[in-house]
Amino acid sequence: MASLKALKIRIGSVKSTQKITKAMKMVAAAKLRRAQEAAVAGRPYAERLEAVMSSLAAKVTVSENSPKLLAGTGKNQVHLIVVATSERGLAGAFNTNIVRAARAKAVELEAAGKTVKFYLAGKKGRVLRRFYPKQILHDQEVGHIKNVAFTDAQIVAQDLIARFEAGEFDVAHLFFAKFRSALVQEPTGIQIIPVPLAPAPAVAPVGAQAAVEYEPDEETILADLLPRNVGIQIFRAMLENAASEQGSRMTAMDNATRNAGDMINKLTVLYNRTRQAAITTELIEIIAGAEAL
């Protein structure tokens, strides 16, 4: 049985930890609202642009003059998985779920005979080095980012586009956590390079299709929109991750605070029982000594 001094020290240690987790929960809650508003505000534009680009990709006739981000490399062998995670831990299963989803996609692609590479954006994604030490194409440093801005996403997007045009991969998938609520963050994977074709509708629309005219021409417009779409999708992932991280951290710290409280109660009961047992033992020894005299 632990001594009274050891129990008292442990109770004090757990109380200190509880104060830290409670403070971290309050900080995460304060940051969550702003991050959530930014993620929700940016979501409609990113989703609509993705739908528009997919629709255009299905309608435009791909030729030698078509942008490479639209036409692709003509191959489907080398797949790049972009894993967007956070720089800090203590956020529950937030980073673990993203990495797990990316690994599941890698296993699926490898089972189909594809070559898989990884592009890490965030320190916590480096756990993939344990499983794929020779397949990490690049580790993008994002620790300097305090408030997510579109310029930060453009840096990653321009690097990805340059590597794509250099022939380092054929298809790129982006994995991040879509914010649902403070309790739910959904790991999500989307294809960002080349533009995926929109799925064909189950029922053909009634009536004539709308005619689409391009001014000045479709190649010029797509050449401008396609790189922008990659940047927007990465920006969207960063905003979703920022909100998801704070929501997950707030929930994790709340659970940690509650668990610390439960542990303090249990240790306090054990401390009181041990103290009472020590007092009872001393009284018995005194009574036994008095009777012996």
pLDDT digits (tens, 9 = 90+) for 99-112: 999 999 999 999 99
Q: What mean pLDDT is predicted for residues 232-243?
A: 90
**Residue 278 confidence (pLDDT) above 60:** yes
The whole-number average pLDDT for the span 51-67 is: 71
Share of the chain above pLDDT 70, in %: 88
Q: Give the whole-angstrom CA distance, residue 94 versus residue 281.
A: 51
Task: Tell me the pLDDT band of 174, cut-offs 50, 70 and 90.
Answer: very high
Q: In the numeric block, which tokens belong to residue 225?
A: 């929109």
Q: How many CB atoms lie within 10 A of CB 155?
A: 16
- CATH 3.40.1380.10 residue ranges of the chain are 34-198+213-249
Q: Are 54 and 89 in contact (CB under 8 A)?
A: no
* pLDDT value at residue 101: 92
* Spatial separation of the C-alpha atoms in residues 126 and 183, rounded to whole Å: 25
For the ranges 184-188, 209-213, 233-237, the lowest mean pLDDT is seen at 209-213
User: Given this structure, which CATH class describes domain 4-19+253-292?
Assistant: mainly alpha
Instruction: Classify residue 55 by burial, with Cβ atoms within 10 Å: 0-12, 13-18, 19+.
Output: middle
**CATH 1.10.287.80: which residues of the chain?**
4-19+253-292
59-63, 160-164, 222-226 — which is least confidently predicted? 59-63
Helices 4-59 and 218-292 meet at what angle, rounded to 10?
A: 170
Does residue 148 register a pLDDT over 60?
A: yes
More reliable by pLDDT, 211 or 124:
124
CATH of 34-198+213-249, one of 3.40.1380.10, 3.40.50.200, 3.40.640.10, 2.40.10.10: 3.40.1380.10
Mean pLDDT of 210-218: 65
Give the pLDDT band of residue 207 (cuts 50, 70, 90): very low
| Mean pLDDT lowest among 6-20, 139-153, 259-273 | 139-153
Backbone angles phi, psi at 46, to 5 degrees: -65, -45
User: Residue 52: how many CB atoms within 10 A of its CB?
Assistant: 14
Among 151, 140, 154, smallest CA distance to 82 is for: 140
Range of weakest confidence among 57-61, 140-144, 188-192, 229-233: 57-61
Say if residue 204's pLDDT is above 60.
no
Check residue 200 and give its pLDDT.
53
Residue from 162, 154, 135 nearest 238 by CA: 154
**223 vs 238: CA distance, rounded Å:** 24
Residue 34 has pLDDT above 60, yes or no: yes
**What mean pLDDT do residues 168-191 have?**
89
Task: Report the chain's mean pLDDT, rounded to a whole number.
Answer: 84
